[in-house]
Structure formats: C-alpha cells, structure tokens
Amino acid sequence: MGYNALHAMQEKNLRDYGVSRSVTIPDPPETQRSYGRDALAFIRDACEDLCFDTDDPARIALEDSDGRSAKAHAIPFNMERDLDRLSLEQAIGRFLASGSREDAFDIYYSYCEIFKPFGPGYDAAPLLLELLAEHEANASSLLMKHRDHYSHSAYVFLIGLAIYRNHAAIRAAYNARYGLADGPAAACHFLKYWGLTSLFHDIGYPFEIAHQQMKAYVCQLDKRNNDAFGFSPHVSYRNMEDFAFTRLGDLNDLYARAITERLAQSYLDRVDMEPYLVRHKLHRVLLDRGVHRDASNMDYLFMDHAYFSGLVLAKTLLDRNRDIEAYEQIPVELLDTFVAIILHNSLFKFTIRGLLHTSEPLRLSDGQPLAYLLMLCDELQCWDRASYGQNSRGGIFACDFDITFSDGSMRWTYFFDKTYEAKVLVAKSYRDMLYEGYRKRSGAVREGRSKFVDDIDEIVALADVIATFEPDTSRPDPSGPINVVVERKKKRTGLYLSDTNYLNLYDFALALNGRYCGATAPDELVRSFEEELSLEYKLSNIAQAKGYARRLEAIGCFYTDRAVDYELVTAFDDAELDALARSEHDRWCAEKRSLGWRFGDEHVGRLDGRNDTAMRERTRLHHDLVPFDDLPDQEVLKDAAPMEKMLELIQEFDGLSIYRM
C-alpha cells in the first residue's frame, strides 16, 4: 500500500466529513533512469510506517491531532509522518530531474527533518552541508583537480537505495548485521543509517581543500614540486589533539578501537595480525592524519578528507546526544556509520592495507555492509559532477548513469555526451571503462578487462555482488558489468542566470513564512517555522525562495551578489508584479498537485463563516487550486505580496541585487 495513514485518512474523512474524494496519493515522480525509479520505489513501497508512533492507541487509530501541517495540532501524527515521506519522495524526484545542488539541498533537509539525527532545527547538519557546498564552489577553483562532493553525496545515497532494494546479497548482509527480518522495519532502519552514512560522508572536505590549494599553487610555481618527488611545501593542522577530543576521550582512540573490533573476526584473520597490535598502530596513524609529522612515508602529499568527515560527524552527533557518556553506549549502527565514513577514502585503501601488508579487498562477509556499500557507491558515482579544479574543468567525464539488476548481479551503464564524441573516444575516463584491456604501471598487460572495474575490486570484492566476476586480473573477466554509451546529452532543468550562494536559503524561507504568519522578530520567525510547520510546508517556503530565479528570468531580470553593468531594479511595475504573482501561483498549484492536493471547497465557511483549516488539511482539498484569473482578490494579494517584498528580502538575506537584462 505504501502510505498506510493516508489510505486510512480517506476512510476517516468519509466518516467524519462525508467527503469521499479526499487525500489523493500522487504517482511517484517520473525519472529517466531505472536507478532513480528504484530509489523512489524503495521510499514508497518498502518504507511503510516510517517513524510512526505504534504505541499510542489514539495515534494508531488517527484519532489524535498531534501532527503539523500549515500549523501545529491540525492533523494526526502518523498522517504527518506519511506526508514527510511523500515530501522526501518528491525532493528526490526534483533532484533527479535537475541534478542541481539547490535540489540536493531538499534531500538533505528532508532527511534531517524526518530522522533528526542532530536534534530539531536547522543549526546542525544542514548548515554543515551548506558550508561544504559553498566552500567547494568558491575555494576549489584554485585546485588542479577537484569535483563536486555535495550533489555527489545525494547521488551516492540514491544508488545505495536502489542496490539495497534490488540486490539480495546486500540486503541479507545488512539485515544479518543488525538482526533484522526482511520487510518494512528493516527498510526504514536502512534508510536512516544509510542516509547518515552516504549524505554526510564528505562533510570534512574543506580540510582537504585548504591543503591542496597550497600544493597546487607551489606546483604551478615550480614544476619540480609535484607528487612524484614530494618537494612541495604542505599545510598540516596544529591542535588536532584538542579538535579530536570529546567527553568520550580521544576520537582517534575511539576510531582505532571501533575499526579493529569490526575487522578482527574476519579481515584480520585473513592477514594473521593480532588485533591489539593493529589497534596500537592504527591509533598512531590516526593521530598523525592531519599533522603529518612523519615525512618518511610521504603521506603529507595528501590530506584524507574522510578522516575529517568522521571527526566532524562524531563530534556533532555526540554534542547533540548528551545521553551517550561512554564508548559502550554508542549504538552499533552509529559506530558502523562512523567507521564506514572514515574508511571510505584512503584509510582502508592505502594505509590500513599498508600496515597489514595485504591487498585484500573488503568483503560482505566481513560484516560491515555500510562500509562495503559506501566504498562501492562512492566509486560508481563519477558522473554529473561539477568540475571546479583547473584541470578537472577541461576533462571529459560521464554525464549520466544507470544501474540494472538480474540474477544476483548488477550492470552499470555510463553515458557520455555525443556532442564531444571525438574527445570522449580518447578520454582516459572513457577508455578505462572499456573491456579492452589495459597496461598497469608495472608494465603488466591485462587482457579482456576494464581498469575502472578492476580498480573497484581492489577496494571491495565485486564477486560478492556480481556472481560471474573474475577477481584474478591475469585472466579475462567474463562478467562485463559495465556498459558505455555515447549519446546526445539531454538538457537539465533548473539552471538560470541568477546566481548566489544558498547559505541564506533557510533565512529567506523564514522571512517568507513570516510574511504569512505575521512574525517579525528573529525568535518569532524561527518558532513559527520550526514549531508550527510540517516538512511539507517548510519545503514549500524553501521552494518559493529557490523559485525566484526562474520567475525573474521570465520577466527579463536576474539577481546576483556581484556588481554588474546592468539596470538595477528598485521596484517592479504593475505588469511585472502581475507576471510574478501568476508565476508563483502556477508554482504553488503544481507543488500542491504533486503532493496529492486537489480542488475542493467543502471546508469553506464552515465555522461561523470562517474556513475550517483542519478539515482542509485532513482532506487535502483546497479552494485556491484554480487558474490565477479565477482567484478572488484577497487570494491574488497573497501571491503578489511576497513578490513585491522580494527586493527587500533578497537584499537583506543574501546581499543581492536584482537587475534587468
């Protein structure tokens, strides 16, 4: 059924109001690729009763009014939980349609609102993520090589959902790790902890950017200063002992202990090294991860962002969960998340295996499905990534991706843009994917193999998820799990001339909501937004803020935080305001219908001539879902007023100006 509370509300509305056509459940968003359809199907079909209250009889029977919509105490609690999941589904659909970081924002925001891993409110994880996005976009252009990690993490999240839904071995390994029976409870558990793992696995990247900026600068000044010789001056981080210290003690020790415990029963058995010795060595390595005191191993040439991601996430979670007072109180799923993140980049691939003198990949049987899946999906997600680095911008990379499943295996398809076909056919990213063989640095020739696939198998054992894969690189690989297609790239939506950072997007949404509810003081703005509105309505305000770029372009205007030689807009004329109001109403109507709202006026004038808003929210019928010209005057003003206020809001919250083209 998918949305159990929404189906039950249809019957309840018939009993309570005599309304038979309420609470329409919309079709899932349309998306071109099957991995997107699989991710959406997982959210809808597998994650039933996500975050429901199954203990309170009134909430089970939907007899309560504990849920929020446009205001608090308007709908049943479990109905709000279903609408939260529907909002996440729609956010995923928007991101798959555009691929933009502005729409990736909605996925992060929805996840944090549903699961609240850092507690209620915006001031924790989403802020960290927006800082990552802005730091990448503005600081990474000085690097030689750098590509997006913000939208990348949203894609990693979606690939993981598709794989868990379709691949029995991954699902069985995950469920076995946490003692779960296959079904909705296991799916909801996976969504929570895979979301935390995948969406936050790169939040420490700004630490690496600062290191790489200086290295790139020096290498350009003096070509001798390159990775091969290691002459380059480098940035390291002092006071790391203080940064890594929490009320649980040294996070380096926590990670050394957690990693060793998780690898002791399987991985370490294969390399025959005592766990206590591994933990001791690993602790020393982690202490040096950001400082690089030991120049002999040349680790100082690189900075492992995964290490800092692990520190930042652990510090943030421990700060927001004060009831955890000892290592033993950290839930096993949370420790697995920490370990997956800190291992995913170079710590496992190079450092740990170097310490253990082995080239063994991680296997599903090693009992760390989150780490296995993160490393797999992180390698697979190499398409549609904004290139910020000086060399990256000129590179040829896949523009799209798909994944299909059959008989316990999977097949990956990468799409390259036919517009640049001549460059594509000789590009390293394209050639490495082909099953035409390759030459290793040692000079060894590998016939009938794909370097891209073999590189992944060096990290995670592909034979665990691709039944026919041949791990011996001296033999041809008959599995052929990768397919490469050169075709004309389809245009994406959501890109406009208006340009700004989105750190203030949340503040912008607060101000817009304040226009409707009469809040003006900062604490009132936050309270009316955080405590009164459901996720659906919060995202609606955010969508209105994001939508200004599209609506301004429609009237020949744009905004920017740069000084440009165009006509500055100080006020909109009546025709422009009318066009903006019409566009906003069309956006609002499309948004409402995508979430299952339909026209209905049964709630109008029921309470002493006033509208019954609780009935409106419970039936999800709205009297304003009509063409703009059919709106009464007072409703037209509701669309026009925020548009008129837009000039002031944009300048106040983003430091922007609006110009005519």
Strand ordering across the sheet containing 657-660:
557-560, 657-660, 567-568
What is the full DSSP assignment across 27-55? PPPP-SSHHHHHHHHIIIII-TTTT---S
- Dist CA 584 CA 638 (whole Å): 10
Q: What is the pLDDT of residue 131?
A: 67
User: What confidence score (pLDDT) does residue 157 get?
Assistant: 98
The band of 508, judged by pLDDT with boundaries at 50, 70 and 90, is confident
pLDDT given for residue 338 in this prediction: 96
379-415 tens-digit pLDDT: 999 887 665 545 555 568 898 999 999 988 999 999 9
Nearest by Cα to 407 from 463, 355, 351, 467? 467
Is residue 274 scored above 50 in pLDDT?
A: yes
Strands 598-599 and 621-622: parallel
Q: What is the pLDDT of residue 657?
A: 82
Q: For residue 257, which amino acid is it?
A: R
Q: Calculate the average pLDDT of the chain.
A: 87
Of 193, 361, 329, residue with least CA distance to 263? 361
Question: Are 140 and 122 contacting, i.e. CB atoms less than 8 angstroms apart?
Answer: no
Q: What angle do CA 18, 23, 27 make, to 5 degrees?
A: 145
Range of 535-539, 633-637, 648-652 with top mean pLDDT: 535-539
**Distance (Å, whole) CA 283 – CA 286:** 5
Q: Taking residues 549-566, what's their average pLDDT? A: 84
| Poorest-pLDDT segment among 7-21, 410-424, 446-460, 518-532 | 518-532
Mean predicted confidence (pLDDT) in 562-573: 86
pLDDT of residue 146: 47
pLDDT at 418 exceeding the cut of 70: yes
pTM score, two decimals? 0.93
Token pair belonging to 341: 């993140």
- Tell me the C-alpha distance between 273 and 117, whole Å: 36
pLDDT digits (tens, 9 = 90+) for 323-365: 999 999 999 999 999 999 999 988 898 888 888 888 899 999 9
Angle, alpha carbons 244-248-249 (nearest 5°): 50
Alpha helices in 443-521 (DSSP H): 451-457, 505-517
Q: Which range, of 234-248, 382-396, 608-622, averages the lowest pLDDT? A: 382-396
Q: pLDDT at position 258, please? A: 96
Instruction: Reply yes or no on whether the pLDDT at 653 is more than 50.
Output: yes
Residue with the two structure tokens 């996500």: 50
Helix (H), strand (E) at residue 156:
helix 150-166
More confident call, 235 vs 31? 31
- Lowest mean per-residue pLDDT among 252-261, 308-317, 614-623, 643-652: 643-652
Length, in residues, of the chain: 661
What are the residues facing 446 on neighbouring strands? 438
Q: What is the pLDDT of residue 17?
A: 95
Among the listed residues 388, 199, 144, 160, the one whose alpha carbon sits nearest the alpha carbon of residue 309:
199
The residue-averaged pLDDT of 150-161 equals: 94
d(CA 185, CA 191): 10
Contacts of residues 245-252 at CB distance under 8 Å and 24 or more positions apart, as own/partner, are: 246/314, 246/315, 246/318, 247/318, 247/325, 248/318, 248/324, 248/325, 248/326, 248/327, 249/327, 251/310, 251/311, 251/314, 251/315, 252/283, 252/286, 252/287, 252/289
pLDDT of residue 260 exceeding 70? yes
Structure confidence at residue 144 as a pLDDT band (50, 70, 90): very low
Alpha-helix runs per DSSP H in 266-351: 267-271, 275-287, 305-320, 332-343
pLDDT at position 45: 96
Residues 33-90 pLDDT 10s: 999 999 999 999 999 999 999 999 999 999 999 999 999 999 999 999 999 999 999 9
